[in-house]
Structure formats: C-alpha cells, structure tokens
Structure 1
Amino acid sequence: MRVTRKTTAAAASAAVLSLLLTGCGIGSAESFEPSVRSHEQVTVFTWWASGVEKRGLDKLAEVFEEQHPGIEFVNDGLMGGGGSSTSKDHLQSRLETQDPPDVFVAHAGAELHDYIRDEYIQDLTPLYEEFGLKEAFPQDLIERLSTDDGKIYSVPSNIHRANLLWVNPSVLERNGLETSGEYDDLDDFIADLETLKQAGIEAPLSVGTTWPQVHLLETTLLADLGPTAYSGLWSGSTAWSDLRVTTALGHYESLMSYTNPDRNDLEWDAASEMVIQGDSAFNIMGDWALAAYDTEGKTYGEDYEAVPAPGTAGTFDFLADSFTMSAHILDEDSAKAWLQTVSSKEGQVEFNKIKGSIPARTDIDASKFSEYQKTAITSFGEDTIVSSVTHGAAVPVAQLSVITDAVRAFNDGSTDIATFQAALAASADA
C-alpha cells in the first residue's frame, strides 16, 4: 500500500481501531459525525492562495471545523492561483512520488480523466448515495460529473459561469454607446470596440496572460458556433475545418487587436482592474471576477454590469471547482468528512457567498446571494449548458495544453489563421 506522510505508529493504531470499530461509518449529509477511527488531520491541496479564493477556502475550513471539531484542517496547497500550471505540475509530482494530499481540488469533467486513468483518485459514487447528493445536485450536473461507466470521482464545491462580459457603463456612456453591454453578435461588439479605440481608449477590451487569452477564444468559438456545434468540437461531431471556426478565429484576431499591449505580463485580476478603474470598457472573464468589484465597493447594475459574452445569451458555459479523494491514503474517514462539508448546505452557501460562484446544490435559499449570483442561479436552471475548455470541463489536460500552445503562438504573431486552425485541429489527437 502506498502511504502519505503518516507515521508507522499512526498506521498501526488506525489498523487496530479499524478492527475494533468496524461499525462506525459515514452518516447522512446533515447529521454526519466523524468516525472515531479518523486521524486528527485532513490535508487539502488547492491553488487558492490569495484574495477571494483564499478567503473562500478559509471560510470553508471554518465550517469544516465547526462540523467536525475532532479533525484539524491542514492547508496543503501551493501558491499559484487559478489552477496555474505550476500548482498542477507540483500536484502531479506529488501523485507520481506517492505523496498525495488527502484531497485536492481540480476542475470537474474531462480534467479528471488522467487522474482516473492513473488511479490517483477514488470513485466517490457511494458518497453520493450516502450524502444524498444525487437528489441535492441537478441532473445536468450529475451527468457532467459522471464518467461513461456512471462513476463520479469528485464533489463540486460550486458552479462557475465562464461566458461573462464585464462592463464599465460610465466608459460607454462617455463615448455615446448603449450602456447595458448586451450584444447579439460579435460584429456589433467589435464595432463598439472600434468606436472606443477611435475615441482614444488604448485597450477597450482588457485581457490577461495566456489562460485568459484561451478563455477569450473559448467564448468567441461559442458565440460563432452556438452551443451544439461548440460542444461538437470537443466530442468530435464538429470538424475543426468548419467555416464557422474560421469565422470565429477571424473574430478572435480582431478582438485581440483591441486588447492591452502588456497582456502577457498581467494576471486575470489585473485585467479586471482595468475595467474597474475605467481604463478599459470590457473584460471577458468568469464570475470569480465578481469579488474584485465587490472589494472595490462597486454596485452591480450601476458601477458595472456582468452580462453574457457577446453572442452567447441563453448559454451557460459551465465549470466547477471540485474536490477529489486521493487513492492509497491512511485517513479516508477524515477525507470523507471534508467532502461532506464541501457538499453540505452550510459549506456551499458560505463558500459561494465569498467566491462569487453559485452552489451546486439546488435546495438552497437564493435570497442569501448577491444580485449577480441570483441571475446565475436562474441561468443555470434555464439556459443551455456547455462545458468550459479553459477550465477543465470539456477536454483533458493534454488537449488543453496543445490548445494553449496554439493560442500563445498565434497571439505572439508566429502563425496565421490557417496555421492556428490546423493547430487547434491537431489538439484532438492529444
């Protein structure tokens, strides 16, 4: 058996207690009591190292320690933020060297495929029955969490919406433009970007470094292909040679021409700050950006708008931060306790009020959330749902890596649209 950093003595004690107390187990989602066989700690790996993400994790840990006072939460994560390649590479190294954290965060969906294949994480389907999650989570979400054989390997702490346009209405008003930020298609959006550019705004559309640039491509493809054909790019039913893809890449090239020259040096939150300060009119980013506006004391519907990205109204581009349980760990009871808190009503409400996302559970009181979050709860229940590429829901890590390299080369001016399209097509082979 592979083990983590637990001592041999602890392992022996756990084995003896396991034999003596085989009747102890996981209780219901709302009445769970930690098993006396549990270790005294649960080690949790995330990339939530600063800002709103760290505050959300701290709040979730606070709820955990209230629900399970006999178990200490240990933040076993790494600086990096936003699922960065550095933190993921560090996690991968730990998994390969048989030093896993008890639980770790990953994006629900295709991002988990490699972990499942390599047997680094455990099947959590029994916990869904134990905690009543198949009733608490919407069926659309259950289907997106399930593998082809019907197993579920993670517990989502939230649901994020990726296809949002963040708008500074004051910038638009000063330049004679309609202030809602709602656009039926990309051509109308690009026309307003040109108006702002001609008015002297250097970067009407702000964007950050590589992954936000991939994120922008994702919403552009969604706008021009629509939800069915967009999803087909990842399932194989839509050909990358489709003329709609060519049109989308042309639109993407135009959009990038209206962005800030220092984009490769900015993180996503700095690009959001450009809209908050009025240096840019627009930013396309997921709803984790909400906290930046709240922190600055901005009022939704007055100081800023958050609306579907141009051409994507009626579609919810989905991703979820989701917790897995590592294989071959000694303290499964403590790990299960953490997953219970993550999936509980209190855990989901308290975490998401800070994070800007919405709970995965449907049995929560929507009045506890911000005005934007209420719109997201409604949208997730009514709109067509698609899976995010940039954030791990639609494609495995290897395919996203090829897409990222293609985006980087295109935006650096190393390739033209035809070469870009061919490189994206080749990503399917990854």
Structure 2
Amino acid sequence: MIRHARGLTVLSLLVILALAPFSSAGAAMGGKLEIFSWWTAGGEAEGLSGMFSVYKKLYPGVEIVNATVAGGAGTNAKAVLATRLTGGDPPDSFQVHAGLEVQKYDPAGFLDPLDAIFKSEGWEKVFPSGLLTLLRYQSHYWSVPVNIHRANVMWYSKKVFTASYLTPPKTFDEFFKVADALKAKGIVPFVLGDKEGWEAGHAFEAVLIGTLGPDGYRGLWTGKTQWTDTRVTSALNTFKRMLTYTNSDHAALTWDGAGQYLIDAKGAMEIMGDWENGWFQSKNYADYGWAPPPGNTGVFDALSDSFSLPKKAPDRENAVNWLKVAGSRAGQEAFNPKKGSICARTDCNQSLFNAYLQSAAKDWRSNALVPSVIHGAASFESWATQYKDALALFVTSGDVAKTQATLQAACKDAGVCK
C-alpha cells in the first residue's frame, strides 16, 4: 500500500498530471451521481471507494450515491437493475460484465453507445484488442472496462500445505491424492460457498477447461464442441467426486465465507476468481498461495467489469465524467490494486500491484484466453443463467446424465447447438 507523506509528493504530481485531460470545470459542477453495482465485500468495496476518491477530487460538488446490491457475480443486482431500466428509473451508471451480458439490458432501447467517448479518450490505443472485441456488441461500445479478472485460480492455505508436506496439485489425479491426505488430517480439502447459486458453476468452468482444454472449452459456447461430448461427461464425473471433499456448510456460505476456511487453516483449496486476492488483503491475511486449477496451466479464464450509460441517466454529464474516470489510468490505478484485479489499460504502473497481480498481468499477456460464462463473457445472460442453475442443482443431485442433457438443451435454446 502507498503511504501518504506531508506536502506535495511526486505521486501527487503524477496524479494531477494523469487527471489533467478531464474537464477543468469540475469544481463548479454539482448534482448527484448514482453508481449501481454489486461491490460490497472487502477489497471490491475498497476499490470502488478508491475510484470515487479520484472522481471527488475532480468534481467535489457532486454527491456520489453508492447504490450497491449485495450478491456475488451480480446475482441479485441484475434483476433489480432490469426492473429499474424498464420502469424508467435508471441509475446514472451501472456495473455490467464486459461481453454478451449487455444484451440482457436491450442496449439499443435502454443504453447510450459510447463510441464517441472511446474516441475522445483514446481508449482504442490503451485497451487490448481482444478486450475491445469483447466490448463491441451490434457494432458499438456499450460499456467502459475498469479491470481484468481471472476466474480460474486455485487459492490455497500455505500453512495447511506446508504442515502436510504437500504441493498444489497440477492434475485431477494429483488433486484427489492431495484431498485424501488432507481429509485424513481432518482438514476440508476443497472449500465451497454456493449460497448464491453461481459459485458451483464458476468452479466447474475450471474443471471444463482442465478436461477439454482451451479450444474444447471455447467450442462449448460456439457450437464446435457439443455438450454431449464424452469429455463433458468426464468433467461432470470429476466435479461430482470433487464435491465429496467439500465443507458440509457450503450451502450456507458465500464465496468469501468459504475463503474464511483458508484464513482459519481449516480448509486447503478454493477455486475462485482473483477478487479473492483483494478480499484476503482486506482481511490482512497473507499466508496464502495461488496456482492454476488442475489442467488449467497456461489458460486464462477472463472476465472484465465495466460501466454503462443509461439513455435516461438523471445526471448525464456527471455520468459521462464518471465513465471517463473509470477508463482513466488514475481511476484504474486507484481501483484495481484494492479490488484484486489488473487494469484494463495496458499502461498502468505495475509497481502498484502485489505479487499475485503482477503474475496475473504476465499471464494475461502470454496465456491462452478463454471467456467466463458465469461472469458474462461467453454467452448471453439467458444461457448463462441456465448453465448456472444446472450446476447449482447438480451440487445436490449429482445426476451426471440429467445435468449433461440439461446443458445440451440450453445450448439448443440459445441457437448454438443443433
């Protein structure tokens, strides 16, 4: 973390220079700015606060209304937002996953395209080409990305692994050997918190990647790989076995509740996105390690958080300025180190980020990239919801054949599978 010194530091000068392109009339502006998101836990709330601070320095007369709806992956927020948009009561700007998730909100009907802002801010020069492709829908940009997250990370307790003389498993066979050894010691091998319904589907993405590889996994969302494929059957059987090593209270916990098992050294491994890194930091917990889930080495399961502009935003000018801050280097450097993510921009100062985030930035540049379905990058929201619900039910049913048939039917409903 940066320690603030008295007086005008070099860092302060850099921030001022970074903010220079924004409107010089900021101090004269007033009114409100309602930002709608689902960031309420630990590091994510701290990261959002950091970006608010950048905005307030520019526009101190604007009252920021932090309209958050708790629920990881936006499980609750998305429904509330859809009701507000269709009811003519939009916030000034709202969080949305970059990718096909924007289709849920009928962008042509309820959102303003942001092509002009992308051009004026020069963002096509500082956002990676792959991310720009993900952001475009119906030939327009509809949201401004603030970060890049990695979904496929296996977090583990260093204390547990060191005391057990174990190393993180690289294959599923190794995973089960490690899990058996940990279970014999009374430690929960594979922690899970699936109270909100999306977490099992999140973990299963990593199992699919580890079983099908990046090309096979991508094909599930394009129709090149059928959900009836025997490798999907194998992935479901593997996940079913993994679930026998999880905590008995998983249905009562959210993802961060499961993470507490690692902090308390009562659990060993959790497959969760790298927002867990920010959450661990907010808990002053440092005795953790990270590794690709089994079979995931060299693959980056990507997602990006972004902000959109509703057509009827009550304080449109304030909202446009918010988007400019969200896409700026100053905004992203204030947000991402706390959030536990890397900048969407390619020109951020890497020295601001911890060891994990620096490794993630390196992997982002070198790994095979695949889109997360749970987090809005791989498919339309309706298909992602069917996937999520099928895996949530699978946790309790363990019915491989029925789940696989449901996933294939969802692909057909989406018009992708035959």
- Calculate the TM-score normalised by the size of structure 1: 0.87
1:315 corresponds to: 299
Name 2:173's counterpart in structure 1.
187
Residue identity (%): 36
Which position in structure 2 is the counterpart of 1:128?
118
Alignment of 1:204 onto 2:189 = yes
Correspondence for 2:245: 258
2:146, 2:332 within 8 Å by CA — same for their partners in 1? yes
* Counterpart pick for 1:239 among 207, 226, 238: 226
| SS in structure 2 at match of 1:283 | strand
Give 1:97's match in structure 2, choosing from 74, 87, 90.
87
Q: Deviations over 1:218-253 (max 9, x none)?
A: 111011011111011111111111111111111110
> For residue 102 of structure 1, what is the amino acid of its counterpart?
D
* Other-structure match for 1:249: 236
Partner of 2:32: 41
Q: Given that residues 206 and 280 in structure 1 are in contact (C-alpha distance below 8 angstroms), is that contact kept between their aligned partners in structure 2?
A: yes
Are 2:78 and 1:88 equivalent residues in the alignment? yes
Alignment of 1:28-427 (within 5 A): 30-33=20-23, 40-75=31-66, 77-117=67-107, 119-147=109-137, 149-178=138-167, 181-183=168-170, 185-201=171-187, 203-209=188-194, 210-299=197-286, 303-413=287-397, 416-427=399-410
Structure 1 unmatched ranges of 5 or more: 1-27
CA positional deviation for 1:117:
5.0
**Distance verdict in 2 for CA 1:49–1:298, change over 3 Å:** closer
Q: What SS does the corresponding residue of 1:395 show, helix, strand or coil?
A: coil
2:10 aligns with none
Structure 2: how far apart are the matches of 1:240 and 1:391?
Answer: 19
Give the conservation status (yes or no) of the 8 Å contact 2:183–2:189: yes
d(CA) in 2 for partners of 1:94 and 1:313?
Answer: 41
How far off is 1:327 after superposition?
Answer: 1.2
Q: Displacement of 1:69 after TM fit? A: 3.2
CA distance in 2, matches of 1:44, 1:84: 14
Measured after TM superposition, the shift of residue 296 of structure 1 is 3.6
Contact 2:198 2:392 in 1 (8 A): no
* Amino acid aligned to 1:198: A
**Residue 80 of structure 1, CA deviation:** 1.1
SS of alignment partner, residue 95 of structure 1: helix
CA distance in 2, matches of 1:165, 1:64: 34
Instruction: Evaluate the alpha carbon distance shift between residue 100 and residue 177 of structure 1 in structure 2; reply closer, same or farther with a 3 A threshold.
Output: same
* Equivalent residue letter for 1:419: K
Backbone CA RMSD of aligned residues: 1.9
Deviations 1:70-118 (A, max 9, x none): 433222x233132343222111111110100111001111111121356
Question: One-letter code of the match for 1:157?
Answer: V
1:351-394 deviation line (CA, Å, top 9, x unaligned) = 01110101111111111111111101111111111111111111
Kept in 1: contact 2:43–2:281 (CA 8 A) = no
**What is the aligned partner in structure 1 of residue 6 from structure 2?**
none
Q: Distance in 2 between matches of 1:279 and 1:118?
A: 49
Residue 29 of structure 1, CA deviation? 7.7
Equivalent-residue separation in structure 2 for 1:214 and 1:196 (angstroms): 24
Distance 2:83 2:29 in 1: 27
Paired with 1:265 and 1:294, the residues of 2 have a C-alpha distance of 23
SS at match of 2:73: coil
Corresponding residue for 2:5? none
Distance 1:46 1:343, change over 3 A: same
State the Cα distance separating 1:45 from its structure 2 match: 0.7
Which segments of 5 or more consecutive residues in structure 2 lack a partner in the other structure?
1-17
Q: Deviations over 1:276-315 (max 9, x none)?
A: 211111011111011232234333xxx2111212111111
Paired residues of 1:47 and 1:87 also in contact (CA < 8 A): yes
Residue 172 of structure 1, CA deviation: 2.1
Following superposition, the deviation at residue 30 of structure 1 comes to 4.6
Inter-CA distance 390–99: structure 2 relative to 1 (3 Å threshold)? same
Give the letter aligned to residue 421 of structure 1.
Q
Deviation track 1:44-69 (CA, whole Å, cap 9, x = no partner) reads: 11112342222221111110011233
If the length of structure 2 is used for normalisation, what is the TM-score? 0.89
Separation in 2, partners of 1:298, 1:254: 30
